Amino acid sequence: MSLFQNLDEFIRCFDTEKKEEVIIHDKSKKTNGCYKIHENKLIAVFAKNNKMYFQYGESIIEINDDCNVLHKELTKEQREFRFYKKGELLFSNKYIVDLSLYGIQPFDYIEEEDFDWGLLMSNLINDKERREVFTEVNSANG
């Protein structure tokens, strides 16, 4: 079983085999990525076999140096997330960030400002060192 950790609720996970959200109260559970459900689509970053991936819905893209994310603050609460590979725009959306989550750090690899899921994914994808740490930690769990 492969699990992704929900970015808002620690007990909520996404089971990739069942393709559904599950509640797991065991704090020792092992996950190999993190996710958010946005507009009824799974958006996730995860590691498998020492590689990092971005998933939107059913589309899965391997993350490497050809990938980058543009994360833009449109208003105090609205953000834009754009995912590019080799300069080609593959995914884009606008979303509202939950400012009440500011300062909550449910994962070891999250910095304080990463309460914004788009910013977290942008930081993980754009920063090679953070990508390597995320991949190493989460590949061991998957």
CB atoms near residue 142 (< 10 Å): 18
pLDDT digits (tens, 9 = 90+) for 56-78: 999 999 999 999 999 999 998 89
Full residue range of the structural domain in which residue 99 is found: 3-139
Number of folded domains that form the chain: 1
Residue type, 124: L
pLDDT-derived band at 100 (thresholds 50, 70, 90) equals low
Q: In the predicted model, what is the mean pLDDT of residues 91-97?
A: 90
pLDDT digits (tens, 9 = 90+) for 33-60: 999 888 899 999 999 999 999 999 999 9
Please say whether the beta carbons of 43 and 117 come within 8 A.
yes
CATH number at residue 127: 2.30.29
As given in the structure block, the two tokens for residue 135 are 């991949």
**What is the percentage of the chain residues whose pLDDT exceeds 70?**
86
Please say whether the beta carbons of 132 and 138 come within 8 A.
no
* pTM score, whole prediction: 0.85
CB atoms near residue 84 (< 10 Å): 16
35: three-class secondary structure by DSSP: strand
DSSP 8-state assignment for residue 115: G
